[in-house]
């Protein structure tokens, strides 16, 4: 009698994002499925953006939209599309009571005043690369609201600080589309399978190498960098490290997460507060990298310990492998001590 080997003719496709989230609900005794639903809503919007990105050149949604966002940056058409898609998904999902986005000045009320969560989001990071077909992404951060449920959300809901995040992550739209996130119990990655329309678990326990050999920064700003940053980068070059810079934060971060490295965006004379946004770029990636065994600082302190004061606050960012970020921090502190002697 022939024994049928089922795996030989129909191998398992893996664990879907939805099934994985359901299995992990027990890690959140305070949430009766709401956080899980919120992650599903974000994943759904990510699938839609993946479709829009892949056909952008065919339906005339590349190029500038003609407006500036709250940051004073030229909005791309896909920025606007992504913002609409995520806001719509979060409103319809019913679990988020309010949203802040890079593309809007004020808090966005969803009308779901009984929702327990608020979301901070950069709908389409790296949008300046859209027209040249470079990887771009979405960055998100989730908090439990501090205002009373049933009432209108308030500013304090968004200014709790990075340590109060309950989940954070990103979606990378590249050669494959990936959703990587943490809920404070390690970091997991899912890869999108287009033909089935599902995210499947591909990276069950992401850990960033303690030491890497990649540095990622815009060396065009070399002469504007502080001396400690130039000294650190010179040290990287002397040690034979590779310079890799895409110019899309999510893509640069993702590569370094997998291979080990450091991403640097220091303050500049023209940007003394830094360029990257604290709430929806720095906080979520810092939460994620710490959960993966890495480190994130603004120079002198951990990013997650920086106290927020405004919705669109900016910050310098040094993030990546633990050993590399600690060496950058050592250089930074030495320079500051020298200045104050």
Tell whether residue 265 is among the known ligand binding residues.
yes
Tell whether residue 127 is among the known ligand binding residues.
yes
Coil/strand/helix, residue 331: helix
Tell whether residue 221 is among the known ligand binding residues.
no
Tell whether residue 280 is among the known ligand binding residues.
no
Instruction: Name the pairing type of β-strands 262-265 and 214-216.
Output: parallel
Instruction: Name the pairing type of β-strands 136-144 and 117-125.
Output: antiparallel
Cα atoms found within 13 Å of the Cα of residue 264, Cβ hemisphere only: 32
Tell whether residue 122 is among the known ligand binding residues.
yes
Tell whether residue 126 is among the known ligand binding residues.
yes
Tell whether residue 234 is among the known ligand binding residues.
no
CA distance 137 to 177: 9
- Strands of the sheet with 317-320, listed across from one edge: 242-243, 214-216, 262-265, 317-320, 295-297
Coil/strand/helix, residue 13: coil
Which residues make Cβ contacts (< 8 Å) with residue 48, sequence separation at least 6?
85, 89
Tell whether residue 205 is among the known ligand binding residues.
no
The DSSP string of 92-104 is HHS-EEEEEETT-
Tell whether residue 242 is among the known ligand binding residues.
no
Tell whether residue 79 is among the known ligand binding residues.
no
Q: Are 307 and 183 in contact (CB under 8 A)?
A: no
Tell whether residue 102 is among the known ligand binding residues.
yes
Tell whether residue 46 is among the known ligand binding residues.
no
Alpha helices in the chain (DSSP H): 6-9, 17-23, 34-54, 77-93, 227-238, 249-259, 283-291, 322-339
Binding-site residue positions for Mg(2+):
102, 122, 124-125, 281
Binding-site residue positions:
102, 122, 124-128, 218, 245, 263-265, 275, 281
Binding-site residue positions for substrate:
125-128, 218, 245, 263-265, 275
């Amino acid at each position: 009698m022939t024994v049928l080997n089922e795996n030989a003719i129909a191998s398992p496709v893996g664990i879907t994002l939805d099934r994985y989230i359901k299995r992990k609900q027990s890690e959140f005794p305070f949430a009766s499925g709401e956080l899980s639903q919120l992650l599903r809503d974000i994943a759904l919007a990510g699938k839609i953006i993946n479709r829009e990105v892949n056909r952008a050149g065919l339906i005339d949604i590349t190029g500038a939209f003609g407006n500036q966002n709250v940051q004073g940056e030229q909005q791309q058409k896909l920025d606007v599309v992504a913002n609409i898609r995520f806001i719509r998904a979060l409103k319809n999902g019913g679990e988020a009571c309010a949203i802040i986005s890079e593309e809007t000045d004020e808090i966005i009320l969803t009308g779901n005043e009984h929702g327990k969560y608020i979301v901070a989001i950069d709908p389409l990071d790296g949008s300046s690369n859209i027209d040249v077909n470079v990887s771009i992404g979405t960055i998100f951060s989730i908090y439990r609201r501090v205002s009373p449920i049933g009432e209108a959300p308030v500013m304090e809901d968004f200014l709790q600080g990075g340590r109060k995040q309950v989940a954070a992550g990103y979606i990378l739209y590249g050669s494959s589309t990936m959703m990587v996130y943490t809920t404070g119990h390690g970091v997991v990655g899912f890869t999108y399978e287009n033909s089935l329309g599902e995210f499947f678990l591909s990276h069950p326990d992401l850990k960033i190498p303690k030491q890497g050999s990649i540095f990622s920064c815009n060396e065009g700003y070399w002469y504007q960098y502080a001396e400690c940053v130039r000294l650190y980068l010179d040290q990287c070059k002397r040690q034979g490290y590779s310079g890799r810079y895409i110019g899309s934060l999510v893509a640069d971060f993702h590569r370094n997460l997998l291979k080990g490295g450091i991403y640097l965006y220091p303050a500049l004379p023209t940007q003394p507060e830094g360029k990257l946004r604290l709430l929806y770029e720095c906080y979520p990636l810092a939460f994620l990298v710490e959960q993966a065994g890495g480190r994130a600082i603004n120079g002198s302190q951990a990013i997650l310990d920086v106290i927020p004061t405004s919705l669109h606050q900016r910050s310098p960012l040094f993030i990546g492998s633990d050993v590399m970020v600690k060496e950058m921090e050592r250089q930074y502190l030495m320079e500051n001590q020298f200045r104050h002697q």
